[in-house]
Amino acid sequence: MVQNKEMQQEYTLTVFTEDKTGILSRIVTIITRRHFDIKSITVSPSSMLGIYRFTIMLMLEEEQVRKLTEQIDKQVDVLKAFYYDNSQIIYQEIALYKVPTEAFYDGDSVERLIRRHNARILTIEKEYIVIEKTGHQNETEALLTDLQQFGIFEFVRSGRVAIVKPMERLKNYLKSVSVEGNG
């Protein structure tokens, strides 16, 4: 499948599933079989007991993400899948940076850098300091770039976590299915 990079944009797929072994593998296979690249994936319990929420960030054209969502939606253990563009969600990532403690020895330049990026120090050890930054990917990468002059022992960034601006669609969907089933 040929992808037009100019027409692509970030989409966040939200997939609600039952807690079943192998569902992550099946969802990832559906995506990778189409040669789509997953930019980030996060899985966590949802607000409803026994239901898990997959948050998957992709760069696709709208038609591609619509078809992909429909295909994932057909899976047996998937309750419902939705897709959103960035204007429809509130999202963040978390990043951790392990920097040498000695970076703090020469004045307060690292401390000012941390404040300027609205980051915070999580722990101070003899050999290293761990800094936390929450924000969008470009914000966590900007801090990484600025810290590289002091040395980075480790860097890790989570996948996207997102809350949709419309009220939770899964609950509305489940209500509609329940009403239809009773009617």
Report how far residue 9's alpha carbon sits from residue 64's, in angstroms, rounded to the nearest whole number. 11
Beta strands in 8-101 (DSSP E): 9-18, 38-45, 51-60, 78-85, 89-100
Token pair recorded at residue 165 = 């601006």
Q: What does the pLDDT look like over 13-33, one tens digit per residue?
A: 999 999 889 999 999 999 999
Based on the structure, what is the number of domains in the chain?
2
- pLDDT of 102 > 70? The answer is yes
Q: What does the pLDDT look like over 137-149, one tens digit per residue?
A: 999 999 999 999 9
pTM: 0.82
69 with 98, same domain? no
103 with 58, same domain? no
- Is residue 18, in this structure, part of any structural domain at all? yes
pLDDT over 70 for what percent of the chain?
88
